[in-house]
Structure 1
Amino acid sequence: MVSLWRSNDRGGTGDNGAAQSRDQAHDEEEYHGGHQPDERSRLLPRGEGGYLSPDDPAVSPYNLFGIRALRFFSVVFLCISFVWWVILLVSIFVSPPMMHSRGSGFFDFSYTTLAVGNIMVALVFFSVPSTPMTIWGATMTLFLAVNAIIILAVPRLRVEEGWVGVASAVWATLIAAYLLFQTRCVGWGKREEEQRLTGREETRRSLREWLAVLLETVIMTITVLIPILLMSTLILRARDASLAAPGSKYYVDNRKYEVHLNCIGEIRKNSSSSDQPPTVLLEGGEMPVEHSFQGWVHDAYRNGTIDRYCYWDRPGMAWSDNAPSPHSAGMSADALSEALALAEEDGPWVVVSAGVGGIYSRIFASRHSHDVKGIMLIDALHEDLLSDLGNPGHGFLLWIRGILSPLGLDRLAGAIFRGRTREDRVFGKRAYQGGKYIKGRLQENLVADTMTKSEISSARNIQTPSMRLVVVSSDIETRKSERWADKQKDLTKITNNLLAWDVAKGAPHEVWQTLKGRTLLEKRLKELVKKS
């Protein structure tokens, strides 16, 4: 080679070195047709018709500036997506300003997780583009676009997801489309470099490349199922959104979210507030009140035992939105107070609650001592057992369930194979599978042993001693746990005006599930309302 000979013949430093560089550049320019070498020509070997071996590492799409730019932008998009992913992860536990989602917040997290995962897969297999990756990339882009369209087209979904959910779904779609474009460009660049540097397009693949193609195909096959499941769950949610809520919904907490409230029965006309019989106010337990004990209370209303009753859904339950995190029992009591005021419902009240709802109703009663005339606790949770409700292990399981809830595996199976209805999913026995419900229970878990425990402790101290009290306990639960039995007994002491404490024989935690339990509850409710 001419330049190599000149390199060997010349030596020294200073002017001689500079002269050597100029001569070498001149030789390169002559070899490349009078032009300085660029990325399209500098790797070609000297000599007419010279080509590189197909296995030479220099035969790479990375030789092209455009391909390197695509990789750079992928890394930038990965960093942006990861920062957004962290923000959404934190927002599940503490809602940043202006980022509260009235839905569960798990869908936007799913879309962002999918975007991060897609970029990472694309970067790992960047230099090994394949037909399966192109096909699956196009399929994923299509389904993600359909996801975004469904969210934007259904008003209820658009409200629940908010701008955060819409932005996350659109971002995931754009990332999928960009990665599809990137795969096509890298494939083109790979063919171009093979043609230029080896004289032909390489059709062989090394064992390493075949393994990479196999692995990326398996990963993409699994990954592309995610937007399909997300789309199916969105369709179910759109179907459920068509179920009208009885009563009305009211914006609370500075219009951050809505809660559902419904009252059954007419207020007696020509009577002052003090002459009105008390309205029964229901607080649900572990499940929405519509599924739990509204049934026996409504029977009591129909047979004339009570004149009127109201019930509401705590944030995350049935038709109510999720509240910003963190959210305690005291905050729920304030939300109920605000909703009742907006509905112009001012009591007097007899509060009836079950399970964990006993915590909420006791806080509400302590803050409305002049309006609440009596309280009925049905196998209610004691404040000393809030540590069980706030168990970290239980919270972690709720978080895992929430992360998986957008896939809707259990809800889809129930709808397809078992004929589950909208009522089942919104407020019925399958309501626990929904993301909103899981988010509400997770919020409950996170502050149970801190904020909520402090609020119920204060409520017990300021509770009006003369308030009438009825406690009904489960025979099965009290026999199962001596600790539970002791705490049920202690609940009878939260006021000095205990009307009755009954242990319903043969009744489970949901006492109204047995005929004897329902009969006992209706009897005690009648007595409590009459004496109040």
Structure 2
Amino acid sequence: MVSLWGSKNNQEEQDEDQENGRPTTSTSQTDTPRQSEEANERSRLLPPPDRRGYLSPDDPAVSPYNLWSVRALRWFEIIFLVITFLWWVLLLVSIFVSPPRFNSRGSGFFDFSFTSLTIGNLLVGLIFFAVPSSAMSILSMSISVLLLIDMIIILAVPQIRVEEGWVGIASVVWAALIALYNVITNRTVKWGKAEEEERLTGRQETRRTLKEWLAILLATVIMVLYVIIVILLTAVLVLRSRDATLAAPGERYLVDGDKYRVHVACEGNQTFYKDGSPKPTVLLEGGYMPVFDSMEDWVYDARKNGTIDRYCWWDRPGLAWSENAPSPHSAGMSAGALSEALAIRGEEGPFILVGAGIGGIYTRIFSARNVRNIAGIMLIDALHEDLLYRVSSPGRGFVLWGRGIISPLGLDRLSGALFKHRTKEDRVYGKSAYQGGKFIKNKLQENLVADSLTKSEVKSATNIQQPEVPLVVITSGRHIKTDDVWEEKQKALTKITDNLLGWEIVQKAPSEEVWRVKEGRDALEHWLGKLYSYRMKTKSEEEQ
């Protein structure tokens, strides 16, 4: 083997000595030529002679790559990196266009985060393959253990298991296996390096060059960052498992071919007119935030005050207790999901629709698709379709995508839980709900199709809308003052039917959330009562 590196073997040296007339020596004599000489002062000061046939430790031929097992491990690492990258690309595409059975119903971006971590882990393993260290082995093992804990949490909590689905489970299992594989690779390369140094140089090299020390330092810093990332992922999963214990006020129903579940809740009992026909049920459609934390309170008071008898509300896909829908997802698709959930629940209407902010878009589409069951419409500082380009701006979409990518780290949610005492109610439907990946994905889906599919759907709904449906428009005065075109577009909303009961501008009310001030709550309850009594009055006239 040594002869491969250019050293002469003993037989060749003996043949050369015979040709030159020199006496030949045996192998033992060649290895230690000075053993037979008497030691003197000079010879004792000289270092022992090098053994013939060994290479210098600095020779490039002294490499763990000489071992086929080490080379095989490296090739496997490259193959794993290619497979993981293809999976990463598929997950990235699925955020925008979900392949069949590839939708994460509630995790938001966790599967993408686990796969991104796996790619980083593999790149570190490949870049620093030839400089193994104990630190890398320990850190890789720590990552593997933490990912194993993540896998256990996902599988043990039923709601998280459903939300992650097979895609999320496969992603975390693959991440844990790759981390363990890196531990095995690091130890094998370390062993192979020592083995080749012993065989080719006669000893194991304990020195490291400055370049190697810098490489080990850099690899250690990166791996420490990876450990921190996995710790954060694990902490957020613990929060999610805690949030999963919060019971939903209503029921969740599988819709769209059982692809995801939406949450529908109702308050009050169904009441009837004298002729046996049902009185209308108020159906709430929230704006930016979930209904339960925003507009449900004032409608609850309206029922307690006897203004209405019954109301229902739902969470759009991705909000509060509802799961994420596959991408792309438009307002019309949400309206279809609501219709399906109400049918499963047995709600037949008629409905008085109340929509706030962008929820007004969803309300109008639902009204046009259920013309026989609509008893009235109330729009609360609702968005006009001509302004959907604001929701669909590329800059907003990029920010939402960036927030979604880092959302599994839970930097804001964890700090809120630790230092601001945010509760699971805050995270599911309250003031911290906007921080979750599920919520962010809902807003990103809204952004992607707002000025295309959704705008087309609401334009069609305007043409289909029944002209006799009673309509009330409530507008925020503060919103008018800060937006030059808002009043004009609110006026346009008063013409979506031919039966406008009233348009009121609440001067001190904040944008969209008119109910946040007493003046706004009073106006909303007053006009809701008008809608409700209008329907009742019509029924009485029919009886007469």
- Residue 175 of structure 1, aligned match among 178, 182, 192: 178
| Alignment match of 1:498 (pick from 500, 507, 511) | 500
- State the alpha-carbon separation in 1 of the partners of residues 218 and 255 from structure 2: 51
Report deviation, 1:268.
2.4
Residues 143-162 of structure 1: pairs in structure 2 closer than 5 A: 143-162=146-165
Aligned: 1:381 with 2:383: yes
Superposed, 1:24-39 pairs within 5 Å as none
Equivalent of 2:88 in 85, 88, 103: 85
Quick check: 1:468–1:499 contact (8 Å CA) kept in 2? yes
- AA in 1 matched with 2:388: L
Aligned-partner Cα distance in 1 for 2:8–2:412: 74
Alignment partner, residue 279 of structure 2: 277
SS at match of 1:482: coil
Structure 1 stretch displaced more, 449-458 or 276-285: 276-285
Match of 1:37 in 2: none
Q: Distance in 1 between matches of 2:380 and 2:108?
A: 32
Q: AA paired with 1:255?
A: D
1:125 is the counterpart of 2:128 = yes
Matches within 5 A, 1:212-223: 212-223=215-226
Match of 1:13 in 2: none
1:206 equivalent in alignment to 2:199: no
CA 1:417–1:402: 2 relative to 1, 3 Å: same
Deviation at 1:269, TM superposition (A): 6.0
CA contact (8 A) 1:284 1:354 kept: yes
Secondary structure of residue in 2 paired with 1:260: strand
Matched ranges for 1:84-483 at <5 A:
84-268=87-271, 274=277, 276-483=278-485
* Structure 1 residue 49, shift from structure 2 partner: 3.8
8 Å CA contact 1:362–1:456 kept in 2: the answer is yes
Q: Show CA shifts across 1:131-155 (max 9, x none).
A: 1111111111110110011001110
Shift in CA distance, 50/272, structure 1 to aligned 2, threshold 3 Å:
farther
Query: What does the per-residue CA deviation read over 1:47-102, in whole Å, with 9 as the maximum and x for residues that have no partner?
Result: 96421111111111011111000000000000000000000000011110121221
Distance 1:149 1:116 in 2: 22
Shift of 1:358: 0.1
CA distance in 2, matches of 1:460, 1:309: 25
Contact 1:473 1:502 in 2 (8 A): yes
Task: Please give the per-residue CA displacement for 1:205-256, whole angstroms capped at 9, x wherever unaligned.
Answer: 0010011011011111111111111110000000000000011111111111
2 CA distance for matches of 1:139 and 1:247?
A: 41
Q: Give 3-state SS (helix, strand or coil) of 2:293's partner.
A: coil
Alpha-carbon distance in structure 2 between the residues aligned to 1:221 and 1:86: 26
1:343-381 per-residue CA deviation (whole Å, 9 max, x = no partner) reads: 111111100010000000000001111110110000000
2:466 match: secondary structure: coil
Task: Note closer, same or farther for the CA distance 1:443–1:272 as it changes in structure 2 (3 Å cut).
Answer: farther
RMSD, aligned CA: 1.7
Structure 2 CA distance for partners of 1:197 and 1:244, relative to 1, 3 Å? same
**Quick check: 1:105–1:165 contact (8 Å CA) kept in 2?**
no
Is 2:381–2:474's contact at 8 Å kept on the other side of the alignment? yes
User: Following TM superposition, where does structure 1 have runs of at least 4 consecutive aligned residues deviating by more than 2 angstroms?
Assistant: 1-6, 47-50, 268-274
Structure 2: how far apart are the matches of 1:146 and 1:223? 15
| In structure 2, C-alpha distance between the alignment counterparts of 1:196 and 1:248, rounded to whole Å | 70
Aligned letter for 1:340? L
State the 1:312 CA deviation.
0.4
Give the aligned residue type for 1:485. E
- CA–CA distance in structure 2, aligned partners of residues 105 and 169 of structure 1: 14
2:54–2:200 Cα contact (<8 Å) kept: yes
In 1, the alpha carbon distance for the partners of 2:344 and 2:383 equals 29
Question: Cα deviation per residue 1:469-524 (whole Å; 9 max; x = unaligned)?
Answer: 00000000101112111111111111111111011011111111111111111111
Partner SS state of residue 172, structure 2: helix
1:327-356: CA deviation from partner (whole Å, max 9, x where unpaired): 000000000000111111111110001000
- Quick one: distance in 2 between partners of 1:463 and 1:346? 19
| Matched residue type, 1:284 | G
Alpha-carbon offset, residue 303 of structure 1: 1.2
Cα distance in 1 between the residues matched to 2:262 and 2:100: 20
Percent identity between the two aligned chains: 61
Count of aligned positions: 493
**Structure 2 residue matching 1:305: 3-state secondary structure:** coil
Give the C-alpha shift of residue 176 in structure 1: 0.3
Q: 1:249 to 1:398 in 2, by over 3 A?
A: same
For the 8 Å contact 1:191–1:201, the answer to whether it is kept is: yes
* Counterpart AA for 1:89: L
CA offsets 1:153-203 (integer angstroms, 9 cap, x no match) = 110000000000000000000000001100000000011111111111111
Q: Work out whether residues 107 and 160 of structure 2, in 8 Å CA contact, stay in contact via their aligned partners in 1.
A: no
**CA offset at residue 460 of structure 1?**
0.5
Alpha-carbon distance change, 358 to 227 in structure 1, aligned in 2, over 3 angstroms: same
Q: Which has the larger radius of gyration?
A: 2
Alpha-carbon distance in 1 for matches of 2:363, 2:472:
13
Compared with structure 1, are the counterparts of its residues 2 and 328 closer, same or farther at alpha carbon in structure 2 (3 Å cutoff)?
closer
Distance 1:448 1:273, change over 3 A: farther
CA change 1:453–1:70 in 2 (3 A) is same
Q: 1:215 to 1:469 in 2, by over 3 A?
A: same
Cα distance in 2 for partners of 1:136, 1:266 equals: 59
Change (3 A) 1:230 1:272: farther
What is the aligned counterpart of 2:67 among 45, 64, 67?
A: 64
Q: How far apart are 1:104 and its partner, in Å?
A: 3.6
C-alpha contact (below 8 Å) 2:273/2:279 kept by paired residues: no
Q: Secondary structure at the match of 1:472?
A: strand
Task: Tell me how far apart the structure 1 counterparts of residues 171 and 475 of structure 2 sit (CA, whole Å).
Answer: 47
CA contact under 8 A between 1:378 and 1:473: conserved in structure 2?
Answer: yes
1:396-441 Cα offsets, whole Å, 9 max, x none, are 1101111111001100000011111111000001110111111111
